Amino acid sequence: MKYAEEQARSWGCRAMIVECQSSNYNAIQFYQKNGFDLIGFDLM
């Protein structure tokens, strides 16, 4: 994740978005521990 963040900064990106299924609790925890915020749900 740190490498991806460094790359995004070097490219001038203002945000990074990650996506996983809402039932994937382990991935959600991982992303939150790495500074990401939950911003929505895709119910489809």
Q: Quote the pLDDT of residue 29.
A: 96
Q: Any idea where the domains of the chain sit in the sequence?
A: 2-33
Q: Quote the pLDDT of residue 34.
A: 94
Residue in 2, 4, 1, 6 with CA at minimum distance from that of residue 27: 1
pLDDT tier at 42 (50, 70, 90 boundaries)? confident
pTM of the predicted protein model: 0.75
pLDDT tens digits along 11-41: 999 999 999 988 899 999 999 999 999 998 8
Q: Quote the pLDDT of residue 37.
A: 94
Q: Quote the pLDDT of residue 41.
A: 80
